[in-house]
Amino acid sequence: MLLEINNLYFSHTKEKPLFQNLNLRFEAGRIIALAGESGCGKSTLLSLMYGLLDWESGEIIFDGKKLFGPKGNLVPGEADMKFVAQNFDLMPYATVAENVGKFISNINLAQKKETVAELLEVVGLSEYADVLPKYLSGGQQQRVAIARALSVLPKLLILDEPFSNLDFPRKIELREKLFSYVKQNNISLIISTHELQDIIPWLDQIIVLQNGRLIQNDSPEETFRSPYNAYVAKLFGEVNIFNEKEISDFSLKKFSYYPKEISISENGIEAEVLESRFAGNYYWNKVKAKDKEIILYTDEKLSASVNISFI
C-alpha cells in the first residue's frame, strides 16, 4: 500500500470538526481523484498527507513509514512525495527553466537540460523557458510547479486543483500529457477536483468527500453508474434528481439520470417541451412530464410535445 490513512481526526477550529475517524487507502501506480464541492476538505486532506498540518489523532503511513505533521517533522514532505498546492512557491528571480531544474543534479548538465525541456513540453510551456515567473499567469505558474515536482520522479505526486486555472484547450492538452507522463514513469497521482467530467477517462479511482466524510470510493464507472447520493451524481455535471415519490411515479430504477440517459421514444411518457436550445454537440432540452421538469440532450431540436423513456 502506498499511502494509508487510519482513524484520522482533524479540525481547523474546535467548533467545526472536519475529519472524524477518516480511513483511506491509496494503492501505488494509480491516478486518483479526490473529489467534492468547495469546502469539503480536499486541500486540508492533501496538506495533512504532505505533513503541513498536525492532526489530533490517527496515523498516516506513506510507503510503510509513519508520517508526522510539522510538530514531529520540521521539513514537510518526504523525498518520494511531492505536493503542488494552490500557491506555487516558485523562485521569483529564476527563469521558468531554472525553476523546473531546481531539484535536478548539475552533474550532467546536458542531461539536465534535456530533462527540463521534456518536462516543459509535458506542461506545455516550452516557449516560456527563459521567462521569469512573474510574467506568467496563475495557471502557467502552477504548471511550472508541476514540472518541477515531476522532475524528481516522486513515487507520489499530489496536485491541488491542477486544472482549475486553465482554459479548456489547455486543460485538454495538459491532462493528456501529464497523465501519460505519470503512467509511463510509474508515478502515483492524487488530484483534488470539484468536477470530474473532463478527467474521467484517465482516472483509476474516485474518492468523494462531503463535509469531511468519505462517502464514496470506487472506480469511475461504478461512481458514475451508482453514485452514493445526489451530491456525487452532480460532480459529473448536469443531472436530473428524483425524489421517492417521483421514482415511484415514473417507475424508475434509480434516483439520478444524466441528460444522455433519457431518450425520445414512441412508447415513452408524454412530456411537454418547455425549451430546446442549440448547445454545440447536442440540443439542450427542458421538458415537463408528470409535473416534473427534466433536462435531456438530443441530436435534433424538439418542439411541442414528445415521449421520453429512461435508459
Which residues have CB under 8 Å from 36's CB, separation 6+?
A: 42, 194, 208, 209, 210, 231, 235
- Nearest in space to 162 (alpha carbons), one of 191, 137, 200, 136: 191
Q: In the 8-state DSSP scheme, what is residue 147?
A: H
The interaxial angle of helices 138-150 and 168-184, nearest 10 deg, is 10
Which one of the spans 41-49, 178-186, 213-221, 287-295 is the region binding ligand ATP (CB under 6 A)? 41-49
- Nearest in space to 297 (alpha carbons), one of 179, 305, 289, 287: 287
Burial of 306 (0-12, 13-18, 19+ CB in 10 A): buried
Q: Which amino acid is at 76?
A: P
Burial of 201 (0-12, 13-18, 19+ CB in 10 A): exposed
- Nearest in space to 83 (alpha carbons), one of 159, 168, 189, 167: 159
Phi, psi values for residue 214, rounded to 5°: -80, 115
Which one of the spans 10-18, 149-157, 271-279, 284-292 is the region binding ligand ATP (CB under 6 A)? 10-18
User: Contact between 142 and ligand ATP (CB under 6 A)?
Assistant: no
User: Contact between 162 and ligand ATP (CB under 6 A)?
Assistant: no
Nearer to ligand ATP (CB atom), residue 2 or residue 46 = 46
User: Contact between 194 and ligand ATP (CB under 6 A)?
Assistant: yes
Least separation in angstroms between residue 32's CB and ligand ATP is: 15
Nearer to ligand ATP (CB atom), residue 60 or residue 302 = 60
User: Contact between 12 and ligand ATP (CB under 6 A)?
Assistant: yes
Which one of the spans 11-19, 77-85, 125-133, 179-187 is the region binding ligand ATP (CB under 6 A)? 11-19
**Among 38, 106, 267, 281, which residue interacts with ligand ATP (rule: CB under 6 A)?**
38
Q: Is the CB of residue 153 less than 8 Å from the CB of residue 103?
A: no
**Among 42, 148, 155, 175, which residue interacts with ligand ATP (rule: CB under 6 A)?**
42
Q: What is the rounded distance in angstroms from the CA atom of residue 55 to the CA atom of residue 50?
A: 12
Pairing mode of beta strands 156-160, 81-84: parallel
Least separation in angstroms between residue 233's CB and ligand ATP is: 18
Nearer to ligand ATP (CB atom), residue 99 or residue 192 = 192
Considering only residues 258 through 287, tell me which ones interact with ligand ATP, judged by CB under 6 A: none
Least separation in angstroms between residue 288's CB and ligand ATP is: 35
User: Contact between 18 and ligand ATP (CB under 6 A)?
Assistant: yes
Helices (H) and strands (E) in the chain, counts: 8, 16
Nearer to ligand ATP (CB atom), residue 20 or residue 43 = 43
User: Contact between 225 and ligand ATP (CB under 6 A)?
Assistant: no
**Total of chain residues touching ligand ATP, rule CB under 6 A:** 12
Nearer to ligand ATP (CB atom), residue 38 or residue 106 = 38
Query: Which residue's C-alpha cell is 489523532?
Result: 57
**Among 4, 20, 25, 43, which residue interacts with ligand ATP (rule: CB under 6 A)?**
43
Nearer to ligand ATP (CB atom), residue 35 or residue 157 = 35
- Give contact residues for ligand ATP (rule: CB under 6 A): 12-13, 18, 36, 38-44, 194
